[in-house]
Structure 1
Amino acid sequence: MKEKKHNFCAGPSTLPQEVFEQLSKAVINYNDTGLSILETSHRSDSFLEILHKTQDLVKDLLQISDDYSVLFLHGGASLEFLLVPYNLMKIGGTGAYLDTGRWSSKAIHEANILGNAKIVASSKDKNYNYIPTNYHVPTDADYFHCTTNNTIYGTQINEFPDIEIPLVADMSSDIFSRQMDFNKFDLIYAGAQKNVGTAGCALVVVKNSILGKTDRKIPTLLDYQKHIDNGSLSNTPTVFAIYTAYLNLTWLKNKGGIQGIEVENNRKASFLYEEIDRNPFFEGTARTEDRSKMNVTFNLKNTDKENLFQELCDDAGISGIVGHRSAGGYRASIYNAMPFESIEILVDTLRKFEKKLN
């Protein structure tokens, strides 16, 4: 059996080893029920207990008020690009958007299908390698949407505007990774396959009081209020993905929650960025003050040596390090479950590459 690789893929990402082990047992026999978690009914007491405990964990970890509902929905974060305007944009209305990369651009595209997506600021002029500042959010917009962390370009938002309209955030790649006042946001959504669990569903955290104000007829499976009323059971939910989220968030809770994991995440990111900045053969791609602590993007200064670097990565058991096809270069995704030992292996590989060329 091959040794476990160091998975730096942007998603589906690595999970804690103990979660893998718990999942493997549940696939054979969940909680000694005589049933696999894969065949457990979504209407059973066993699954309903999982669902409710997972929703409670989300609320506990984010420290959100009772005015929020927690949903697990199909379609990943990409479907939320459409559900947000469906549920928040009035007929003929406007959504204000901060354009910081590929995923915010896709959200803007979906919003324009229903109404008007007004771009308040964009970093497209420099291939999204920074976060715009000093922009104005129109007070007559129905909501303001931002992507908190940009997986492809390695940037992350550190400050959010104080506004009177609903604040919406796609937190797919950095939710549960750092402390902030999550009550500041009226709607948070995240694809599960990075810091929540496995691919197949999206986590949605929505303030109940912002719903039902669009006068729009919303199809049942696109209506947040219908999903709230049905307890995330409007159709068969992603049982396995939700169970994975339960195990993963329990692991996070036991590590000291978001406060505890933020310390580890800061340590991992600092260690890797320090080596990239020190090593004469590599360079970071994101503006220093906007660097992501989840997705570290960098380039080889001499692209003729790509094969050598790839050979060293392969020898070290490093997987998923190649950058997104639209950006090139390299990307190390270092989400919550990525152990510090894997960062050490990557840094050691960068140093070995340096020695090979000196």
Structure 2
Amino acid sequence: MNRTFNFNAGPAAIPLSVLERAQKELVNFQNTGMSIMELSHRSKEYERVHNHAKSLLTELLAIPDTHEILFLQGGASLQFTMIPMNFLVNQKTAHFVLSGSWSEKALAEAKLFGKTNVLASSKSNNYSHIPQIASFEDGQDDGAYMHITSNNTIYGTQWHEYPDSSIPLIADMSSDILSKPLNIEKFSLIYAGAQKNLGPSGVTVVIVKKELLATTSSNIPTLLNYETHIKNNSLYHTPPTFSIYMLSLVLEWAVEQGGLNIIQQNNEEKANLIYSAIDESDGFYTPHAEKNSRSLMNITYTLPDEELTKKFLQQSAEQHFVGLAGHRSIGGCRASTYNAVPLEACEALAKFMTAFRKQN
């Protein structure tokens, strides 16, 4: 079977070796006579998978004992609600840095629970850059937390240095977690839907600082209370067992690659191939993101006109490139180069882009 060049923004590419292993184990997982999807979430076989995934995350991201790891459902979008429901308390203010559509959605949900404030925004420039905040120290005694979105899939921008904050820093890292090393201690809460770099959709990883939990509101519905899931090792109710199993396989693959330093180097090499094709095109391809805010995960660009864009997407599809259409809100093109997208796919796309430009 021929594999496509998968540049989908999410759900996105999964390492081929992971898919092949899951295929091999699908019907009879570890001689249980059952699929992993059929195992009880209370069984010792599944418990080993569950805890193995937590252990691998701890190893890869160097997560300290000060933080808890949760596997939740509802996607990153549910976290937009859970975070203010749990932590926007005592008449405090949730501060937001707006860098794209997902940070806008997080802000809209927080407004339902308390006071909010926009610290900075690049909306007036069509979110073409990250509004950098060097520090956040003075006059913020009322701050419940600061929220950022670390990578913006629609606009192709990414934080390369995270802001300093005297209040808890919370980050939606759905589209760039596991793509580079992190200083976890800098963050009070990180959340990430799995369907970009962690595996298939269905599970959301939350890494939360124990100190933050001390500020939790009372009278929270049981299932929306972080403490419920911490006390029960994310097993209060049936978790998305297959997604967590796939997560564990992707994490094993990440370890086999050499860890996050090597993965970051690979991601830089892949992205540079495509950005070079853009930068060397004499304006034929126009990048959406400013250079100092360019994402290594989502590369966004436009062509001279709509007809050429349609032609580019049609011919690229004929060459087995998938997922290159830009988000419907801004149009153009987008190549998502997540961890599992191989170097060969990026080499092929850069070559195609160069050939297409010369022909047109």
**TM-score, normalised relative to structure 1:** 0.97
Tell me the CA shift for residue 133 of structure 1.
2.4
Residue of structure 2 aligned with 1:290, choices 293, 300, 319: 293
**In the alignment, is residue 29 of structure 1 matched against residue 31 of structure 2?**
no
Separation of aligned partners in 2, 1:23 and 1:200: 16
After superposition, the C-alpha distances for 1:154-210 in whole angstroms (9 at most, x for unaligned) are 000112222221110100000010123122111000000011111011000001121
**In the alignment, is residue 7 of structure 1 matched against residue 10 of structure 2?**
no
Separation of aligned partners in 2, 1:51 and 1:61: 16
Q: Which moved more, 1:208-217 or 1:164-173?
A: 208-217
> 8 Å contact 2:94–2:144 — kept in the other structure?
yes
Separation of aligned partners in 2, 1:256 and 1:104: 32
After superposition, the C-alpha distances for 1:54-76 in whole angstroms (9 at most, x for unaligned) are 00111111112111111100101
| 3-state SS, counterpart of residue 228 of structure 1 | helix
Separation of aligned partners in 1, 2:231 and 2:192: 21
| 3-state SS, counterpart of residue 66 of structure 1 | coil
**In the alignment, is residue 210 of structure 1 matched against residue 209 of structure 2?**
no
| 3-state SS, counterpart of residue 328 of structure 2 | coil
1:43-62, aligned counterparts within 5 Å? 43-62=42-61
> 8 Å contact 1:299–1:329 — kept in the other structure?
yes
Q: Show the counterpart of 1:236.
A: 238
**In the alignment, is residue 101 of structure 1 matched against residue 100 of structure 2?**
yes
Residue of structure 2 aligned with 1:319, choices 319, 322, 335: 322
Separation of aligned partners in 2, 1:30 and 1:10: 30
Tell me the CA shift for residue 303 of structure 1.
2.3
Residue identity over aligned pairs, in percent, reads: 43
> 8 Å contact 2:134–2:163 — kept in the other structure?
no
Residue of structure 1 aligned with 2:249, choices 247, 250, 260: 247
Separation of aligned partners in 1, 2:5 and 2:221: 42
1:133-282, aligned counterparts within 5 Å? 133-134=132-133, 137=136, 138-280=140-282, 281-282=284-285
4+ runs of 1 displaced by more than 2 Å?
133-140
Q: Structure 1 pair 148/134, CA: closer, same or farther in 2 (3 Å)? A: closer
After superposition, the C-alpha distances for 1:115-156 in whole angstroms (9 at most, x for unaligned) are 012110111101111111247643421111100000000000
In structure 2, give the amino acid aligned to 1:327: I
Q: Show the counterpart of 1:16.
A: 15
Tell me the CA shift for residue 254 of structure 1.
1.1
Residue of structure 2 aligned with 1:340, choices 338, 343, 350: 343
Separation of aligned partners in 1, 2:134 and 2:256: 39
Give the RMSD, CA atoms, in angstroms.
1.3
| 3-state SS, counterpart of residue 239 of structure 2 | coil
In structure 1, give the amino acid aligned to 2:275: Y
Separation of aligned partners in 2, 1:199 and 1:133: 30
Separation of aligned partners in 2, 1:139 and 1:185: 18
After superposition, the C-alpha distances for 1:213-249 in whole angstroms (9 at most, x for unaligned) are 2443111111111100011011100000000000000
**In the alignment, is residue 123 of structure 1 matched against residue 125 of structure 2?**
no
Tell me the CA shift for residue 92 of structure 1.
2.8
Tell me the CA shift for residue 312 of structure 1.
2.0
Q: Show the counterpart of 1:303.
A: 306
Q: Structure 1 pair 33/117, CA: closer, same or farther in 2 (3 Å)? A: same
Separation of aligned partners in 1, 2:98 and 2:315: 36
Structure 2: gaps (5+ residues): none
> 8 Å contact 2:127–2:155 — kept in the other structure?
yes
Separation of aligned partners in 1, 2:277 and 2:78: 38
In structure 2, give the amino acid aligned to 1:86: M
| 3-state SS, counterpart of residue 83 of structure 2 | helix
> 8 Å contact 2:97–2:120 — kept in the other structure?
yes
| 3-state SS, counterpart of residue 38 of structure 1 | coil
Structure 1: gaps (5+ residues): none
Residue of structure 1 aligned with 2:358, choices 338, 343, 355: 355
